[in-house]
Chain A
Amino acid sequence: MKPMANLDYVSLYAEMLRENNKFFLQQKMLIDSQIKASSSLFKNRFAGKDFKTEARKYLRAVGLLKP
């Protein structure tokens, strides 16, 4: 039997979601946890400093803002 590739899982999950909306619950958990983790990471990283200044330094360093 041929093993499933990543795209096969994407298709399978999309089909399951189409037929049964209870599978959206897992998606919500993943997205919500990602946002909470990101928020917590940057709040800790820039704690006690000027947020925008530090955030812009970080964004320049990762290429999301022009130098």
Chain B
Amino acid sequence: MKGYTLENGTVVINRDLTELDFFVKSFLDVLKKHSGFLIVSGFVSISTGRTRGTEDVDVLIPLLEYEKFKEFFDDINKHGFWCYQGNDAKEVYSYLQEMTSVRFAKKGEVFPNMEVIPVTPKRKTKWFELNHPQDIKIKNFAFKVSPFEFEILYKEIVLGSEKDIADARHLRDFFKDILKNEKFKEFEKIIRLEL
């Protein structure tokens, strides 16, 4: 069987769930009740087959109003997560207001963690990603990631570490049958605004 198939625009990865997938799924099952989200960076490559370890999974969310954030914070605590930055919603929200990410891990664990990155329209590239999701499904685990062409270019042009270049190469080769040149051209203009 092929590594992935395309079903009505959703990329279905044909594999079993890993412990990392179960961790991300348990977090997103709570988050999606309270907010929109988009997975970016390493987990996009890893979830599609890149064989490397990771300690954090990056997730973009729109900057929430405090009351909405508190509802999420209380809910995620009830579902067995703790926050690196503090035990109190108000204290943790102050980081988000400063546009600083906050991290959550399972209670009794340090890694992996979910790095929650707040985004507003002022952060043009991240806001664009958040509003142009690509759906992915692995068994019963459905989530949204940035468009693969965007993710590849962001890793190659903005991030550029050895790990990022390898992640980008993986995505280019794994998805070579569905990547579109016109999207690369469109997204490169947006990404270069960030430089």
How far apart are the CA atoms of A65 and B177 in the complex, in Å? 41
User: Hey, which chain B residues are within 8 Å of A27, CB to CB?
Assistant: 15, 18, 49-51
Instruction: Select one of B3, B16, B50 contacting A28, CB under 8 A.
Output: B16
The binding surface of chain A is classed by DSSP as helix
B53's contact among A22, A31, A42, by CB below 8 Å, is which?
A31
A42 to B23, CA, bound (A): 17
Q: Which residues of A contact B144 (CB under 8 A)?
A: none
Within 8 A of A (CB), among B179-195: none
Minimum Cβ distance to chain B for residue A12 (Å): 8
A19→B49 CA distance, assembly (Å) = 12
Give chain B interface residues in 64-92, CB to chain A under 8 Å.
82, 84-85, 87
Cβ 8 A contact of B166, one of A7, A26, A28, A34 = A7
Q: In the bound complex, do residue B103 and residue A64 qualify as a contact, i.e. CB atoms below 8 Å apart?
A: yes
Q: How far is the CA of A22 from the CA of B169 in the complex (A)?
A: 21
Contacting residue for B3 out of A20, A38, A42, CB 8 A: A20
In residues 121-174 of chain B, which contact A (Cβ within 8 Å)?
A: 162, 165-166, 169-174
Residues A18 and B46 in contact, CB atoms below 8 Å apart: no
B36 interface hit (Cβ, 8 Å):
no
Using C-beta atoms within 8 Å of the partner chain, give the interface range for chain A.
Answer: 35 or more
- Complex Cα distance, B171 from A61, in Å, reads 34
User: A22 to B20, alpha carbons, bound, how many Å?
Assistant: 19
Please tell me if the beta carbons of A51 and B108 are within 8 angstroms of each other in the complex.
yes
* Minimum CB distance partner of A31 in chain B: B18
Chain A residues near B103 (CB, 8 Å)?
A: 64
Docked complex Cα distance between A24 and B50 (Å): 9
Answer yes or no: B109 CB below 8 A from chain A CBs.
Answer: yes
**Interface residue ranges, A against B (CB under 8 Å):** 6-7, 10-11, 13-15, 17-24, 26-28, 30-32, 34-36, 38-39, 42-43, 51-52, 55-56, 58-59, 64-65
Could you tell me which B residues sit within 8 Å of A by CB distance? 1-4, 14-16, 18-20, 23, 46, 49-51, 53, 55, 82, 84-85, 87, 103, 107-112, 162, 165-166, 169-177
- Shortest beta-carbon contacts, A-B, top 4: A14-B173, A24-B15, A14-B174, A35-B19
